Structures are given as structure tokens and as C-alpha cells.
A = this chain, B = another copy of it.
Amino acid sequence: MGRPPAFDEDEVLTGAMHAFRRKGYRGASVRDLEQATGLKMGSIYNSFGDKAGLFDAAFAHYNASFVRGRIDRFAPPSAGLAGLRALFLSVTEEPGGESYGCLITNSAVELGGAEPAPAWVADGLRLLSDTFAERLAAAQARGELRAGLHPAGTAAKLLALYQGILVLVRAGHDKAVLRHLVIDEFANLEARHDR
């Protein structure tokens, strides 16, 4: 009973997610979000409660679809260390001159000073960190990892490196330098067969 919604929720969340990514939570006005989602103000408030509600939904969508999709595409369990490297390289190859950045990184920085740091930031960071640790542990089991490295500790370092690369990408840093950096770092993680 009652009229069903006329919009596709995935499209709406994807549009909102990109708007928040580009302009930040504060920088994306509700009028901007109208254009990004195709919804009108009333529908946004009717469906998501308020701007923070839409942000929450968009962030959840970002973690569950965008980040996880990127992991599955570039760094599936079978791809090993090379997959992780491909994941890192992929963030330096965003299309176009514009640097959209990562919603996790951007939100951590923008909202990090506020009292209730949104749970989605911690969730996204954990998703990345857990993925890194799992792939590193698998690589270690296969003897692909350099001796003396601990998956958990190395995962923490990779998480910091990943966030830092995203900051530098957003700052317009030279991408060739960033790619070189990633290649070097993963060469250091690999088992040394040449000794």
C-alpha cells in the first residue's frame, strides 16, 4: 500500500558517494546532492532522514561496494603479493586530471577532530588492514614473503602507506614517483631469490 520509490538506490548512493568524495561532507551541500543523486530535497529527507543519514548510507555503500569491489578486482586471494601491489598501483591511476580521493581517507581527516568519529572510517580501515594481513599471511605460507616479516605489523605499515599515497594523489603529487615507490616497497616485501 502506498507509492513505491521511483529511484534506484544503488545509483543514488553511488552519486552521493562521489559527491562526498570530491567535495567532502561539509563541502557537499544538499543542493549539490540533489544534482548528484537525481533526487529532490524532499525525497532525500524522506528516504534518508537528513544529510548525515545520506552520508552514512553512501559511506556504507562505498565500503561494501567500491572498496571491496576494488579489492576483489585487483587483489583477490589468488593474486598474492602481486595483487596487493596492483591494488596500490590502481589508486595512482585514477582517470582524468581530477583526484577524487578516497572517502575513508578524506573522512578520517575531515571528521577526525569531531567527537564521534564515524564508525565507517574505522570499518573501512579495518577492511583494508585485514585484507593486507590476510594476503601477507598467505604469501608467507607460500614462501613468497621475505624472511623476518610479520604479516600483522607489515599490514599496519601498508595501511599507513596506502593512506599516505591517497593524500599525495589528492595533493596532485607526481604519480610516476608514487608508482615507483609502490614497486620499490613491494620488491622489498618479496622473498629474495637472488641471494
Q: Given A26-B27, A106-B109, decide whether A156 and B171 contact each other with a Cβ distance below 8 A.
A: no
Please tell me the size bucket of the interface on A: 35 or more
With a cutoff of 8 Å between Cβ atoms, the chain B residues found around residue A171 in the complex are: 108, 112, 117, 121-122, 125
Give chain A's interface residues, CB within 8 Å of chain B: 22-24, 26-27, 98-101, 105-106, 108-110, 112-113, 117, 121-122, 125, 153, 156-157, 159-168, 170-173, 177-178, 180-181, 184-185, 188
Query: 15 A–B contact pairs at CB < 8 A?
Result: A27-B113, A98-B113, A101-B109, A105-B167, A106-B109, A108-B171, A109-B110, A117-B171, A125-B168, A125-B171, A153-B184, A156-B181, A160-B164, A160-B165, A162-B164
